Each structure stands twice: as structure tokens, then as C-alpha cells.
Structure 1
Amino acid sequence: MSENQKGVKYATSFKEQFTVRGMIIGSIGAAILTMSSMYVALKLGALPWPIIFVALVSMFSLKLLGNTNINEINVTHTAMSAGAMTAGGLAFTIPGIFILNPEAELNIVALFFVVLGGVILGLIFTALIRKYFVVTKDLPYPMGQAAAETLIIGDEGGKKALTLFSSLGVAAVFTVVRDWFKWIPGTLPGNIAGTSLASKGVFAGIWLSPMLIAVGFIIGPLYIGIWFLGAIIGDFGIVLGGTSAGLWDGAVAGAIKSSLGIGLMVGTGVGIIVKGIIPKAKEIFGPMFSKENMSGGFINLRWAPIAMVLIAFLFTVICKMGVVASIITILGVWLATSMSAQIVGQTGINPMEVFGIIVLLAAKAVSSLGQTEAFMVAAVVAIACGLAGDVMNDFKAGHILQTDPKAQWLGECIGGLIGSFVTVGVFYVILTAYGPTAFGNPEMFIAPQAGAVAAMVGGIPHMTAFLIGLVLGCVLYCLNFPVMTLGLGVYLPFYLSATAFIGGALRFIVQKAAPDYEKSGSGLIVASGLLGGEAVVGVIIALIQAVQGMTAI
């Protein structure tokens, strides 16, 4: 059965798809999911797609109310997921300000306009590129297809929803016991031959985290295996092997490890440009600003140029980014959202912070950016690209189900705007509760992507290792090797990668030992619940601690 044939029986009117109750449910879900996504992104340096999770929650909620349809559910979960990647864009960039300088000051009003500007630009450009990537080019968008299939299969008897919320509750209780009552340790130390590795710079061990195990399960054995390979190369090859062989001391080993990981991730972005964007630049960008797209498409975008001018003004005056850097940022978002749409459509991976780094380097090359303002440039791009990846997945699901793209886009607008407020609020709560030194701290909020951005702003620790990683990343991406996750493994502390690897190994075992269980998607549902439970409780604990801290003052 073709996609169009599938979609015909689900076709409904705009009013049946974009409903008040759907947007209320979507708005509440967007706020909660944005909170948890911020915590996950800061804590783990990874942010799995929330699309299956929100599809199930939307389905469960609307079925309880009765008289729903598959497209109302689809539009509702579209709104619900929008804030998650907005949070990721901020978490992957802005904490680098404090990693680079814990004494730095950050204007919260300026930060809000950075987030809001990134969201609005992301919405504009995804409306422009939807037809090319989703309809004309018909990229697979694996997560969007998975969401569509989840909605088509349905949830008879509510068993999937019960499984989801049960696993969420288990993870929530575990997190309270671990982080609030501290009855169990956060990590189990790792030793080889009875010798602690921490003194040599290798943080081996296992983090007792349902959330990170769930991340590994969701990502799957292939990508998590490459991630773990990167961890072995970084910690046991460069750090432990290099120091044991007398090639360098611990400080140099750490610099090589982090710089190589950053280079591999940035090289991925260069590879995307070389392989996926430059050869088809005319085909991708040419139709965007056609008369049909600006006024005859699913949404009228004649207001977009005015919005871009206003955003440039806010970036220049409120965020103090300067005129040139503001213009470069907006043009960079145009390029980067297309890059994001391309790689997400082909692989399901969205290296949003890498796109931010590329535009940041371009802005620094032609203007005199301050440190804080440089991070703001990267944040705008990462937020827009994060939202673009989510939107394009949702548009793919909508294309399969023949959901009205206008209804979906308006849902994204609502979810994205709510995400703007919640993202900044949660970041401020975490900053107040734990202080600026918590960012970059492996025991608190490792924020590895923000650390990578900080390295680009403040100076690469080991330039030779960075350049090697850059070239390797570009070449390996062009050879279809999943080099982004390799770089992440090299960069992150070993204990995070080891814990995620457990989740990937469990997924492999399930695939081989219980293929029917894997095919039903029940494992992914359990993993989504575990991830959401720990993340939401983590934010709640941070909120309580922030209130206690302000009360004490």
C-alpha cells in the first residue's frame, strides 16, 4: 500500500485536526517535555527523539476524551514535541559560557530573545523547505515514519500507555531514592587489576541511570557500538595507553582526547556540507523563495522578511551581537536548517550544535564578537536546527497520514513558543540551584556539546588533534560511517558511554532473543518511560533546590 493510499482513509478537515483540546494537551505536554529535555541534554549530552513518546501520550489522552481521529492525535503530538529540541539547542551551547568562564554574567532577557529568535527562524525556514525534502525528495525520515506507524497501529486496550506510564513511575521513584534521599550511589567505580583509573584521567565505571540506559536502548546497538568504540579510543587508547607508553602526560592526553572528539563532530558538519549540500545547492535553495512558496504554499510567508528584520534588530540591540554577526546568523540558519533537514531525513541524527559551531566560526571571521555573544550565535542556529529536525520528522508523519501541514505547522508554533519560555525558565532554575560551576562537571551537568562550543570560542586545547579529527570526520561521513557518535564517545567520560552501551547491548539481545517483542515496539515504550521519569524528577528536584537556595538568601 502506498503512502497516499494509506493516508486517504485518515483524511479529515482542518477543524477536526487542529482542535482546542488538542492544543491544550499539546501545550501541557510541551511544557513537561521541554523541562525533561533540558535536564537530559545537560546531564547526558544526548537527546533522543521524543516523537514516539509524545505520539503515545497524545493518543492516550485524546482517546480518553473520546471522538478523536488519527490526524488530531498527530497534530497534538506535533505541538507537544516542539519544545524538546528547543531545549536541546540551548543546552548544547549556552552552558559553554560558564564552562569557559564561571564568573561570566548572562542577561536572561537577551537569552530569551536568542531562544525566541531561533524558534521563529526555525519555523520560517522549515515552512520553506518542507515541500522539497518531504514531498519532492521524499527522504525517509525514520523517526517520522515510526511515529506514523505507531499511530496507524493504534493502542487497543491502552496496554502501551500503561506500559509507558508504569516504566515512567519506576524511573521516577528510583531517581528520588538516588538523588533526593541518596540511599544509593550515583555511580559504581571502575577498576582494572585493583588500580583506580581516575588518577590517570579515565573515569571508568557505571552510572546508575535508567535514563542513560534508555538512551542507549533507543539509539540502538549500531550507533551505540560506535559511540562505545569512541570511548575506548579516547579513554583507553589516548589517555591510558598514551600515558602508560610515556607518549604524553595526563594533561596533554586530556587535551588530545577532547580536541579529537570535537574535531570529529565538527568534521561531520563539514562532511554534510561537502556531500549533501554543495552538490545540490541550487536544487535545495532555489525553490525556497519562489512565489509559490512565499504565498501559495500551505502557509502564507509574506510576513517572513519583516520578521527577519525585526529579529536582526533584536539580536543587534538587545543581544549585542552586532549588525554583521546578526545578519550572518540569520543567513547561517537558512543554510543550517537545510543541512539539518538533509541529515535527519537520511540518518535520524541531528548534530545541531555542530551547525551552530560552523556559523559561529563564520560570524567570528567577519566580525568582532564577544565571548558571550559568540555563544548566542551558536545557540540561535542550534535551536533553529533542533526545531527543524523535529518539524521535518513530524511533517513526514503528516505526509504519510495526509495531515494538513498548516495544522501541524501551527501546532509547532504553539509548542515552540511555549518551549521558548520554559527552556529559559528551566535553565535559570538549574543555574540558580547548582551554580555555574555545575556545567562541564562530570558529576553534575557534563554538557559535552556546550564544552565543544566553548573550545571553539576560547581556543582548541590541542590544535593538531582537532585538525586530524576534522579531516577524519569529514572523510568518514562521506563514506557513510556514523562518525558523529564516534566523536561523542571520544569526548565524553567513559562511565557515561559504558552505561549507554548497556542499553544498546540490551536492545541487541532483545532483537535476537525476542524479535516479536522488538517488532511490537514495547521495548522502546519502556525505554521512553524510563527516560522521561528520571528527567522530569531531575528537573523537579532542581526546582526545589533552587527555591530553597533563594529562600535561604
Structure 2
Amino acid sequence: MAGASKPVELSFRGVILGGLICVVFTAANIYLCLQSGLTFSSSIPAAVISMAVLRPFRSSGILENNIVQTIASSAGTLSCLVFILPTFLMIGHWVDIPFWPSFWICASGGVLGVVYSIPLRRSLVTGSDLPYPEGVAAAEVLRAGEATREGGDDAAEARLGLRAVITGSIASAIMALLVGTRLLASEVAGYARFGAAATGMTINMQLALFGAGHLIGLAAGMAMLTGLVMAWGVAVPVMTILHPANLPAADLAMDVWRHKVRFVFAAALAVSALWTLVRLAKPVAGGVVSAIAAQTRRRAGETLERTEQDLSFGWIGALVVLLLVPIGVLIHGFIAGTPLAPLELPLMVAGIVFVAVTGLMVAAICGYMAGLIGSSNSPVSSLAIIGVICSAGLLSITVEPWLGIEARPALIALSLLVAGFVLGVATIANDNLQDLKTGELVGATPWRQQVALIIGVIAGSLVIPPIMVLLGHAYGYAGVAGAGPKALAAPQAVLIATLAGQFIGGTLDWSLLGSGALLGVGFIALDTLLERRWALRLPPLAIAFGGYIPPGTISIVIIGAVAGHLYEAHADRRAKNPGQAALVRRLGVILASGLIVGESLVNVVLAGATAAAKTGFLAVRDSDWPLALVGSDFALWGMALAVVVIFGTVLLLYRWAARLGLQS
């Protein structure tokens, strides 16, 4: 059949649909990110929407749906650039968000992230055993939908998979709606003082994060648990003793974590990331050599398999050179008319080289992080912190002695700009390799996915500036002069702006970063010892995640990892043969994928309702909780109900999925 030999993949209708989904999800993610510092992955919801919309078209199939989710996937990651854009308002460099500079910061960094991650595909995706939880989840969703449509030998199992993903989606959607009504608490928290020390724990009641935990596996989960215990069982209590304050236990513990402990683990994360880069040097070099060899074979007339065709090195080189032009123009715009003007040419050259070289290293680190924990849960903001530290450090050492302290405001702005480009590379490289893993599993053409993601980056970059202007005028941003009580918190932007100012201003607490660096070395030594003695792994990056990511987020991920391991152990014990055990395991993965799908879709709806309430389009009693059925006085009951209902639902879902597989 012609349709089978040449399936539809990169189509006009797919590009339009993917672009529309990207625009909607980018807008929702911007608001959520500025409000809470979190984003949700748009890959799986986009895949589900695409399958539903394109199903009536006979020529549509899994490859076209994969392109749609690839384009849309940039929404969740590119939105992380709001970690940087508000900082220019906070330091007074901008009075509003200008469209074209903001667009080019997002687009040039994002497309550079796509380009830099292309040579990494062979080493970090094809030749790696990293789990890529969201990439695998998206592939399972796409394959389940495709198999039920086509029939054949795998149709029966595919129908079971589709039942699992739909059931998981419905369950998590209902739970998310109940959380939105406040009948179930969004988090369960407990904090207390122990003498002069204060500590505690928060658990987010999010089945999407629970599902992500199932997908990342026990090893990464245990490493994160190690970091969580070190942060909240050791560092926070000790720091609260050393820095006492007359605050409630929860406020004191969270304040110390935000301003002290998180900096320590950010430094540990930086050291772990650099170590990861060293370990990846050989496989990454191998991937580049493999890519060059493939290009040589292509030039010699050999036709590569469709599933091995990346964008050529000629295109990669041309795009890199082309992208350095707007980067240089923006750097010029930030320097012109400031005390930095006498050094404009060397600063432009240095800035371009910094972005080009640092971006390449960051792409490799982010690819590894995406494979380990997923793009949604990767602490990309830590790489923004590293970028600010590196750029601000170099500028303060090399430029400030020549131009004096009057150049500090311009130096801060320039360091943030350069960090913004690096962050763009980080976020999209993080996403691209996740998408390429999905593509590998469904038989996609890599170069078409890479083109699709570039389209998604451009679409998202067009949306980010006007949405930020709208939100800025409606609410304002914390840390900006004149911000009112309803200002969006923008937690990462506040942290990054503060860090850049303290670094160049000479007020940064180096003891925290030094302690964190030593801690990172300790993580590396522990992992090396375990690997050599007992063939076990506690990835240093994952340990650092445990202390750096907010406790509510990381705790539910860890619970999901442990629960997923117990589910798979149960499958191995009860199955009649290895094939049946593998089926039960796959149903668990698909069920976990469904948990991510349902909640992500509901989060889009809730974000829209919240934005409508806050802008006055929706008249409700509490604009922060537009669907609320109860008030804050129901909080204790809400926490109790959340624990019983959500974890009870997980238990029932696991039992149902296991029975489904064991009876087939």
C-alpha cells in the first residue's frame, strides 16, 4: 500500500494544529510559571488532542501525531524563559517587555538548543539506556492509539493499553478537578520546631508527578530521596538553628531553604552537572563522530535509513552562524549608550563566544537530565543560575576593574542577557532529546522532528512577549518597582535577579556555594564507590535534585518511584510467564502516562479559568480558586481527604491494571 510505504509525517495540517496547541499551552504555562515557578509538559496532552482531531483523516497516523506533539512540546519548556525576561524589569533595565528583543532572546536561544542537541541524538538517545520518562510515555500513548486504529496482531494488547491510558487520564483529571474545588487539598504539609530547629515536609497531591515517579524508576527515586533527607533532615534544621527568626515553623523552614539550603544544592547541582559532562564527553564525542560518518556516507551517495536521518552538518553550521547574528545585535543593544560602550566590540565577541561554547555544554547536560528525570522535572533554573554565575563572574573580574562601579547596572543586565540565551539552549535541548526518544520508539524521521521543533520554538517565541505584557499590566511582577499585592511571584526570576546583583555587587554569600561544591564532590565520590563496590548507582545529579527541587514536588515523585517498583515486583511474582509479567509492566507505564495526560489537560482548563477570574472575565468569590466549593476553613479536612482519596485511587488503579494484564 502506498500509505504504508510513505506515511504522512510533516504535513501542513499537522504544523497548523501543532502551532495552535503550542500557542495555547505556552500561554497557560507562562501564567503557571510566573505564579508558582512550575510548568507542565505539553507533549502527552498534545498527542492525545492530535489523535482526536486528526482521527477522521484516513491518511493521518502515528508519525503525523508525533510531529504535532513535537511542535507543541516546546510550550512547556520554552515558557521557562520567563525565569529571565522579568529580571530586566526588576533591575530597571526595561520599563515594559519589548516584543522584538524578547522574541529574539527566546527564538535564537531556543533554535540554538535544537541545533546543538542534534549531534547528541546518537549518544544520548539511540545509544543510551536513560529512561526518558516523558518520551516513553508519549510514545506509549501514540502507539496505543495507533494500534487500536489499525488492528492486527497487537490490537488486543493495544486496546488494553488504550483502556489503561484513558482510565488513568480520567482518574487524574477527576482528582485535579477535586483539588481545584478545594474539596481535596493541593498539598499535605506538616512542619514543627524541635528546640531551636525547624523542619517539616510537603507532599503535592498531583497524580501527574506520581506518574512521573513511576516512569523514572527506583534508582533515580532513591537518589532523590537521599538528597531530600539531606536537605530537610539535616541542612534545614541546622540552618534554622544558625539563623533563628521569630516565624512559624513552616515559614522559617521554607525561608531558610529558599535563601540558604537551595543555594547549597544549586552549587552541588552545578558540580554534578559538570561531572556528568565529563562522563558524557566520550559518548558525546562518539555521537558526533557517528553523525559525521553518517554525513560522509550521505555525501558518498549512500542512503541512510529514514529513522537515522538528522539535519545535515551543513544545515547545523549554517543555522549556528545565522543565530549568532541576532545574539550579537541584542548584545550590542544592551551595551550601546551605557558605561560599557568603550569595550563594545570585545564584549560582543566575548558574549557570542560564551553563548556558543557554554550552550553546547549545557545542551549535553540538559539532554542527560531529560533522559534521567524528564523535561518537566529537570531543574533547568539551576542552569540559569550557573549561567548567571559564570557570566557575572567573568564580567566582574575582567570588565569592572576597567570601568568602575558605575558600570555595575549595565554589567548586571548584560550577564542576565547572556544567561537568557544559555537558558533558551538548555530548555529546548532538554525537550528536543525527549521528543527524539519518542520519535525513535514510534519510527519517526529525526530531521522532520527537528524542523518541527524549530517551528514550535518560533510559534512559542511569538506568544511569550504579548502574554507577559498582558500579565504585567494586569498584576505586575514581584520585585518590580510599584508591584501591588496581586503581583505574580515569579520566584525563579526574583532569585536570578538577586543572584546577579549580589554577585556583581560583591555581596554574595560564597560560603553557601563553596559548601555546595564540596557536597557535589561528595555525591560524585559516593556514586563512584557504590558503582565499583556493589554495581549500584546513586546519580549525583539526582541526589542534588532531591535538595534543590521544592519538597512538595520531589516527595510525590519519590513516592511514585517506590510505588512503581512495588507494582512491578508484584507483577513479577504473580505472572505465569515472563511475557505476561512484561505486559503487566507495560500497562503500568501506560497507566502512569495516563495520570500525566489527564491532570495536564485539566491544568490547562484551570489556568484559563484562573486567568479569566483574575482579569475580571469570570466573576467568582476567590480568583485564586475559581472552582472552589469550600473556603480555607476546610483545609484540614481537605488534607485528610486528599491522602485517602488520591492514594486510595492509586491503589485501586494499580490493582485494576495488574488484573487486566494477568487475566489476558
What per-residue deviation string (whole Å, max 9, x for no partner) do you get for residues 4-46 of structure 1? xxxxx997437x2112222232223223333444455556656
What secondary structure is seen at the aligned counterpart in 2 of 1:529? helix
Q: Once the two structures are superposed, what CA deviation does each residue of 1:372-400 show, in whole Å capped at 9, x if it has no partner? A: 43233223222222212322233344345
% identical equivalent positions: 16
Listed as ranges, the matches of 1:36-51 within 5 Å are 36-38=28-30, 41=33, 50-51=42-43
Q: Residue 478 of structure 2 corresponds to which residue in structure 1?
A: 437
SS of 2:55's equivalent in the other structure is: helix
What is the CA distance between 1:328 and its match in structure 2? 1.4
Q: Which amino acid is the alignment partner of residue 116 of structure 1?
A: A
Secondary structure in structure 1 of the residue aligned to 2:538: coil
Matched pairs, number = 526
What corresponds to 2:512 in structure 1?
Answer: 465
Cα deviation for residue 114 of structure 1 reads: 0.9
Of 490, 497, 509, the residue aligned with 2:547 is 490
**Which is higher, the Rg of structure 1 or of structure 2?**
2
Partner residue in 1 for 2:633: none
2:98 aligned partner: 108
- Are residues 1:73 and 2:140 paired? no
**1:361-372 maps to which residues of 2 (within 5 A)?**
361-367=389-395, 370-372=411-413
Q: Distance in 1 between matches of 2:203 and 2:125?
A: 41
Native 8 Å contact 1:341 1:388 kept in 2? yes
- What is the CA–CA distance in structure 2 between the aligned matches of 1:472 and 1:344, rounded to whole Å? 23
Q: Cα 1:139–1:489, aligned 2, differ >3 Å: closer, same or farther?
A: closer
Report the residue type matching 1:237 in the other structure: V
1:74-107, Cα deviation, whole Å (9 max, x unpaired): 222222212222123x145456667x76998553
Q: Is the 8 A contact 2:110 2:428 kept in 1?
A: yes
| Distance in 1 separating the partners of 2:217 and 2:67 | 27
Among candidates 5, 13, 28, match of residue 6 of structure 2? 13
Give per-residue Cα distances to partners, 1:206-231, cap 9 Å, x unaligned: 55555555555555554444434433
Q: CA deviation at 1:436?
A: 1.9
In the TM superposition, what is the alpha-carbon distance from 1:115 to its structure 2 partner? 0.7
Per-residue deviation, 1:528: 0.9
**RMSD of aligned Cα (Å):** 4.4
Answer with 287-296 or 79-88: which moved more: 287-296
- Do structure 1's residue 340 and structure 2's residue 366 form an aligned pair? yes
User: Using the alignment, how far apart are the partners of 2:333 and 2:16 within structure 1?
Assistant: 32
The alignment partner of 1:437 has SS state of coil
- Is contact 1:438-1:444 (8 Å) kept? no
The alpha-carbon distance between structure 1 residues 47 and 238, as it changes in their structure 2 partners (threshold 3 A), is same
Greater mean alpha carbon deviation, residues 108-117 or residues 448-457 = 448-457
Relative contact order, higher structure (CA 8 A, sep 6+) = 1
Gaps of 5+ in 1: 1-8
Deviation string 1:155-202 (CA, Å, 9 cap, x unpaired) is 526535643653464255335423xxxx7765555255xx699x9664
Asked if 1:380 is matched to 2:377, the reply is no
- Is 2:227–2:544's contact at 8 Å kept on the other side of the alignment? yes
Alignment CA distance shift 1:214-1:344 (3 Å): closer
288-297 or 408-417: bigger deviation: 288-297
Distance change in 2, residues 1:209/1:74 (3 Å):
closer
**Contact 1:176–1:537 (8 Å) recurs in 2:** no
Paired position in structure 2 for 1:537: 605
2:14 touches 2:68 (CA, 8 Å); kept in 1?
A: yes
What secondary structure is seen at the aligned counterpart in 2 of 1:436? coil
CA distance in 1 between partners of 2:143 and 2:219 (Å) = 27
TM-score (normalised: structure 1): 0.77
Report the AA paired with residue 74 of structure 1: N
Secondary structure, counterpart of 1:190 in structure 2: strand
Structure-to-structure mapping, 1:101-500, within 5 angstroms: 105=95, 107-109=97-99, 110-130=101-121, 133-134=124-125, 137=127, 142-143=132-133, 144-145=135-136, 147-153=138-144, 154=146, 156=148, 159=163, 162-163=166-167, 166-167=170-171, 169-171=173-175, 173-178=177-182, 187-192=187-192, 202=199, 204-209=201-206, 212-213=209-210, 216-217=213-214, 219-241=216-238, 243=240, 247-249=242-244, 254=257, 255-277=259-281, 283=286, 292=295, 298-299=311-312, 301=315, 303-318=318-333, 320=335, 323=348, 324-345=350-371, 350-367=378-395, 370-437=411-478, 447=491, 451=495, 454-455=498-499, 458-459=502-503, 462-474=509-521, 476-477=523-524, 479=528, 480-492=537-549, 494-500=551-557
Give the match's secondary structure for 1:527: helix
| 8 A contact 2:387–2:422 mirrored in 1 | yes
Verify the 8 A CA contact 2:478 2:490 in the aligned structure 1.
no
Task: Write out per-residue CA displacement over residues 41-80 of structure 1, whole angstroms, 9 at most, x where no aligned residue.
Answer: 5566565755444444433433343332332222222222
Deviation, 1:487, is: 2.9
Instruction: Report if aligned partners of 1:168, 1:530 keep a CA contact under 8 Å in 2.
Output: yes
Instruction: Answer yes or no: is the 8 Å Cα contact 2:141–2:590 preserved in 1.
Output: no
Separation (CA, whole Å) in 1 of partners of 2:211 and 2:283? 37
5+ residue gaps, structure 2, are: 149-158, 246-251, 300-309, 337-346, 400-409, 529-536, 573-582, 620-664
Letter in 2 for 1:420: S
Bigger shift: residues 111-120 or 364-373? 364-373
Code of the aligned partner of 1:238:
A
**Aligned twin of 1:28:** 20
Query: Is 2:477–2:488's contact at 8 Å kept on the other side of the alignment?
Result: no
Between the aligned partners of 2:498 and 2:293, the Cα distance in structure 1 is 38
Report the Cα distance in structure 2 between the residues aligned to 1:287 and 1:311, rounded to whole angstroms.
31
Q: Output the amino acid matched with 1:314.
A: V
